[in-house]
């Protein structure tokens, strides 16, 4: 009973997120199969065997394999791994941050029981979600008359299950030892991104191909389970490490003094402690009454900002130049002949050119995701987060309007978004210079500005959902779901005549639609993205002023 109560509560609190993830992926699969059905597959079958081997397809390529590999191998990994690591990070560190760990352990439940119960809940939810994804794939393909004969979808989704749980238990172990939810989720997400990057890049660089075995992503799809079935050797490695993470989590939570509520030292506090910056920060922060809402909000996301900015500067910016230079020319030429259908999901581009390389590897997916990671977090936490922490009443007790709160929170979101954009710009510009790639620096700046603007659109959407509902989960999942849907719409519009006319309704159409790395800034596109952001912030003010504030989360 003691274990079951924690287990049941965790399942009840978390099942909606997993359900939304499954439904979203199925809808995306419908869109992908519809789009790929209109593609002339002869272009794939006519490619030389070496080319097909390079991109991981056989001469029996069909619509089903393209769609499943593209959707489940990218968005499926990101969605399920993100949900698992969010659960893992919240299992102990999240309870400490919310001040509920004392209530939980005040009952006759040992710390080990809590960890095991939360781990069991994560396994159950992930397993049910993956099983549902596999089961639904069959009728979806039949409904669209898309053959998946010869594809081992069950093996592929089973690999997805074990891979996702790996990151969930990693986050659980870090959170149990540190009590820091941000560190647990940030480190785990960083390793996920680095691993996906390494698995895609290292096999292309001559002489370092075997280094890919040091990264978890290799054990997810390195054996190509969609075609070859379950690789029990690869999965046993991930499973063994996951089990070790659980043991580490149990040891960590049992040896540490748990905090009744996490109170971190913000960047503002650190700067105030330095005599040289104390006066400046005091002026920026304003009076004690208002407590500098915008600067306080910005300081609350310092950890997320630093991790994300560092990844974009070093990994996705600076290092991409030397990697491009290290890839053999013949490999780049093969990549340059990839069909548009293969690169549509990552923003398109010609990998054989410096601009196309950065568009595919950096700007297509990772750059907007990096900005949205921060802006959506700020947007959701700006209002709904204050309500869930029961601090909104204290904030509104000061002589400030609801509109001012939104404007200051929005200003924080804008500053953080531009910080990520500048980090990306600096990294790409240096990477291009180091590798002598010759990319126009003003075009890099234009692309990074558009990256910031498209990220702000979905951050402002998260803010509007937060203002209108007071629910952080609705704000986060709503904004993320909209971003995925619009990204896929824009990606498949180039492949499907049916979807082409809808592309202009996607914010991503105004991001890379003009190929800014090659053609420079399209100020009309920038104005549209900026207008969408301002409109959503204005809508947030209206929604927030009309709603009764909730007193509990």
Mean residue pLDDT of the chain comes to: 80
Full DSSP string of 246-262: HHHHHHHHHHSPPPSS-
Q: pLDDT grade, residue 553 (50/70/90)?
A: very low
Counting beta carbons within 10 angstroms of the beta carbon of residue 505, is it exposed (0 to 12), middle (13 to 18) or buried (19 or more)?
exposed
Find the radius of gyration of the CA atoms of the chain: 24
pLDDT at 289: 41
- Count the Cβ atoms, other than its own, within 10 Å of residue 501: 9
Residue pLDDT, tens place only, 346-386 = 666 677 788 888 988 889 888 999 999 899 988 888 776 66
Q: What is the rounded average pLDDT of the residues 273-284?
A: 56
Q: pLDDT higher for 96 or 162?
A: 162
Nearby residues of 137 by Cβ (< 8 Å), 6 or more positions away: 26, 29, 68, 148, 153, 157
pLDDT at 2: 46
Minimum mean pLDDT range among 116-125, 144-153, 246-255: 144-153
Residue pLDDT, tens place only, 315-338 = 889 988 888 888 777 766 655 555
Q: Where is mean pLDDT largest: 25-39, 183-197, 487-501?
A: 183-197
pLDDT at 1: 42
Q: In this model, does residue 102 exceed pLDDT 70?
A: no
Q: In this model, does residue 287 exceed pLDDT 50?
A: no
pLDDT at 356: 85
Residue pLDDT, tens place only, 9-53 = 888 888 888 888 888 888 888 777 776 666 655 555 555 554 555
pLDDT at 107: 62
Q: In this model, does residue 424 exceed pLDDT 90?
A: yes
Assign residue 515 a region: left if phi > 0, alpha if psi is -120 to 50, beta otherwise? left
Q: In this model, does residue 142 exceed pLDDT 90?
A: no
Q: What is the rounded average pLDDT of the residues 180-204?
A: 82
pLDDT at 458: 96
The C-alpha atoms of residue 295 and residue 112 are separated, in whole angstroms, by 39
pLDDT at 332: 67
Q: What is the rounded average pLDDT of the residues 160-187?
A: 89
pLDDT at 106: 58
pLDDT at 275: 62
User: What are the angstrom distances between the C-alpha of 180 and each of 91, 255, 263, 264?
Assistant: 11, 15, 10, 9
Q: pLDDT higher for 158 or 98?
A: 158
User: Do 184 and 253 contact (CB within 8 A), yes or no?
Assistant: no
Q: pLDDT higher for 224 or 396?
A: 224
Q: pLDDT higher for 516 or 90?
A: 516
Residue pLDDT, tens place only, 233-276 = 999 999 999 999 999 999 988 887 666 554 445 555 555 555 66
Q: pLDDT grade, residue 54 (50/70/90)?
A: very low
pLDDT at 290: 43
Identify which of 21, 17, 15 has the alpha carbon closest to the alpha carbon of residue 133.
21
Full DSSP string of 292-326: -HHHHHHHHTHHHHHHHHHIIIIIIIITHHHHHHH
Q: Where is mean pLDDT largest: 21-30, 50-59, 526-535?
A: 526-535
Assign residue 224 a region: left if phi > 0, alpha if psi is -120 to 50, beta otherwise? left
Q: In this model, does residue 182 exceed pLDDT 90?
A: no
SS3 state at 39:
coil
pLDDT at 263: 46
Q: pLDDT grade, residue 340 (50/70/90)?
A: low
């Amino acid at each position: 009973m003691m274990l079951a109560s924690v287990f049941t509560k965790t399942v009840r609190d978390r099942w909606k997120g997993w359900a939304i993830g499954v439904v979203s992926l199925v809808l995306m699969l419908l869109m992908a199969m519809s789009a790929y059905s209109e593609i002339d597959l002869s272009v794939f079958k006519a490619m030389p065997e070496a080319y097909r081997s390079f991109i991981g397809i056989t001469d029996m390529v069909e619509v089903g394999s393209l769609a499943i590999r593209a959707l489940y191998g990218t968005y499926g990994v990101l969605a399920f791994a993100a949900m698992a690591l969010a659960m893992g990070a919240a299992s102990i560190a999240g309870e400490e941050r919310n001040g509920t760990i004392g209530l939980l352990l005040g009952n006759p439940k040992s710390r080990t029981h809590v960890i095991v119960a939360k781990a069991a809940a994560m396994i159950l939810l992930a397993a049910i979600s993956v099983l549902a994804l596999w089961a639904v794939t069959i009728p979806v393909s039949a409904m669209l008359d898309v053959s998946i004969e010869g594809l081992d979808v069950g093996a592929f989704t089973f690999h997805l299950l074990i891979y996702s749980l790996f990151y969930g238990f990693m986050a659980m172990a870090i959170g149990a030892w540190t009590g820091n939810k941000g560190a647990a989720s940030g480190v785990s997400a960083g390793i996920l991104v680095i691993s996906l990057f390494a698995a895609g890049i290292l096999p292309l660089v001559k002489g370092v191909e075997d280094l890919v075995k040091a990264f978890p992503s290799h054990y997810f799809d390195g054996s190509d389970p969609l075609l070859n079935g379950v690789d029990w050797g690869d999965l046993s490695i991930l499973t063994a490490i996951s089990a070790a993470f659980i043991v580490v989590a149990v040891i960590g939570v049992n040896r540490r003094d748990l905090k009744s509520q996490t109170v971190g030292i913000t960047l503002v506090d650190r700067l105030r402690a330095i005599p040289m910056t104390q006066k400046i920060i005091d002026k920026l922060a304003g009076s004690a009454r208002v407590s500098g809402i915008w600067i306080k909000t910005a300081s609350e996301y310092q950890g997320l900002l630093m991790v994300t900015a560092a990844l974009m500067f070093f990994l996705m910016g600076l290092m991409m130049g030397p990697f491009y230079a290290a890839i053999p020319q013949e490999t780049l030429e093969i990549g340059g002949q990839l069909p548009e259908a293969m690169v549509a999901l990552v923003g398109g581009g010609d990998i054989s050119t410096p601009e196309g390389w950065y568009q595919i590897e950096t700007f297509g997916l990772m750059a907007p995701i990096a900005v949205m990671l921060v802006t959506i977090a700020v947007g959701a936490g700006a209002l709904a987060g204050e309500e869930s922490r029961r601090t909104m009443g204290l904030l509104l007790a000061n002589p400030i309007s609801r509109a001012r709160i939104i404007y200051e929170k929005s200003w924080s979101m804008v500053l953080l978004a531009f910080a990520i954009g500048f980090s990306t710009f600096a990294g790409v510009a240096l990477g291009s210079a180091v590798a002598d790639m010759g990319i126009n620096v003003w075009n890099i700046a234009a692309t990074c500005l558009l990256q910031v603007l498209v990220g702000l659109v979905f951050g402002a959407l998260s803010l509007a959902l937060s203002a209108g509902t007071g629910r952080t989960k609705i704000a986060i999942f709503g904004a993320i779901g909209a971003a995925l849907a619009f990204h896929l719409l824009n990606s498949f519009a180039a492949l499907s005549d049916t979807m082409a006319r809808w592309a202009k309704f996607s914010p991503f159409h105004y991001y890379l639609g003009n190929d800014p790395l090659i053609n420079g800034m399209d100020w009309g596109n920038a104005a549209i993205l900026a207008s969408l952001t301002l409109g959503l912030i204005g809508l947030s003010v209206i929604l927030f002023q009309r709603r009764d504030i909730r007193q509990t989360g």
